[in-house]
Structures are given as C-alpha cells and as structure tokens.
Amino acid sequence: MQNDDRQEELERKIAEAVALAQSVVEDNERESHAENGNTDSPETEAVMTEPGGERKKLLWKVVLGVSSVVLLVCICLIVRYAFAHNRSNRANRALREYVDYGTDGATESDASSKQDAGIDDVIFPHVKVDFDELQKKNQDICAWIYIPGTDVDYAVLQGSDNSYYLSHDAYGEYSPDGAIFIDSANSRGFSDFDTVMYGHNMSSGTMFKTLHNYEDEEFLRSNRNVYVYTP
C-alpha cells in the first residue's frame, strides 16, 4: 500500500508539472495575442513577419518546458525502478532464509523411487521449505521452484488474477520484477494435468531470465530437472 501511495504521489507531481508547463504556454500565447491586438503600427507588423520573432521565441519556450518535464519524469521513473528492483531482490533473499537446501544427494527412499520409475542418474536435492513461515508473509505463496544450474530459486504464488503479480513481489509490494506465479485458473495444489507458471524475463538476470540457458543443448543435457516443492 505504501508503494501504491508513492506511485500515486509521483503521478500527481508529474501531472502538476505538465499542467504548469501548459499554463506557461497558454499565458505566453495570451500575452502575444494581446500585444498583437493593441497595436497596428508598422513596427509590430515587422516583428510578426520577421523570422526569429515572437513565435520562434514562444516555440523555444514550449520545447524547453516540455523537455524539462520529460527529463523530470524519466529521472523519477528510473529512480523508482531501481529502488523497487533492489528492494525486490532483498525480499527474495529474505524468503530464502526459510529454505533449507541441505545437500544434493539421494537417500535410500529416493534411490528406491528412482529405480521404480526407471530413472538411473537423477539426483534429488534435499530442499526443505518452511511453508508455515512463508505463508505468514503472504498467504498467496503456494509452492517453491528450484532449478539447479540457473538462478531460478523463488517462492511461487497464486493470485486472484494473472495481472497482480506481474508488478508485485512475494510480499505484495510494487516491483518491476513481479513474482513467479501460477495461472489463477490452476489448482493451488498442482493437481492439474498442466500447471502454467509465469515469470518475467528480466534483463538484470532475475526471475526466469536464466531459463535461456536451456537454449544451449549441452546445458539442457546436464540440467534436465526442475523441482517444485509444495506444502
């Protein structure tokens, strides 16, 4: 809610800046029309028709005003983006405190399961997720996804629609990174035949960006497993 308030405050300031620029332009236009209407001397005629006269000055004022507003908006958006991105990274690291990664090995029960399934060389990471603590942070957390060989290691959420977590992190705060989430129409318990999972392709390398590693055939052969843990 605090970030939403900051966003509304930023949008209000931008609107005020644009309105101020428009007001300046309108005032200059009114002054120009008043001057042109109050005199009919030959000298005024010369000013109106002379290249680089009042109209040209007015145009430069408009360009300067609009450029200043655009620059201010860009600076505000860049600062807001960087702040939210860094806060989102800190939030994701904080959530990983509730994940015990253990060691990459297989217990006897894992080996038995692999043999029954006809799998010879799969290693199951011993990852334990404290969902009780995670769901105290956000009840929408329904799973954890971990993909060895990539940076994908995040809480998975499910919202009431497929738009909220495009721009909010796992704490429900505004974030350009968004969160990893499953389709709102899917079963929360991953019992559907197909479960659709969404995540941004961030240029910073976060979220699902490192899934591009699988475009390399050798990487694909070495990293074939995706792990999703549920309560």
Closest listed residue to residue 15, CA positions, set 82, 73, 75, 63: 73
| pTM flag (> 0.75) | no
Residue 42's pLDDT is: 45
Closest listed residue to residue 131, CA positions, set 121, 118, 140, 123: 140
Residue 22's pLDDT is: 63
Residue 153's pLDDT is: 93
Give the contacts of 200 (CB within 8 A, at least 6 positions apart). 166, 177, 178, 206, 207, 208, 209
Instruction: Tell how far CA 42 is from the center of its chain.
Output: 61
Residue 203's pLDDT is: 82
Residue 71's pLDDT is: 77
User: Would you say residue 77 has pLDDT above 90?
Assistant: no
Tens-place pLDDT, residues 114-168: 445 444 455 567 889 999 999 999 999 999 999 988 999 999 999 999 999 999 9
* CA atoms lying within 13 Å on the CB side of residue 29: 8
225 compared with 126, residue with greater pLDDT: 225
Residue 139's pLDDT is: 96
Q: What angle do CA 176, 178, 180 make, to 5 degrees?
A: 155
- Taking domain 125-229, whether its CATH number is 2.40.260.10 is answered by yes
Tens-place pLDDT, residues 181-196: 999 999 999 999 999 9
76 compared with 230, residue with greater pLDDT: 230
- Residue listed under structure tokens 């390398």: 205
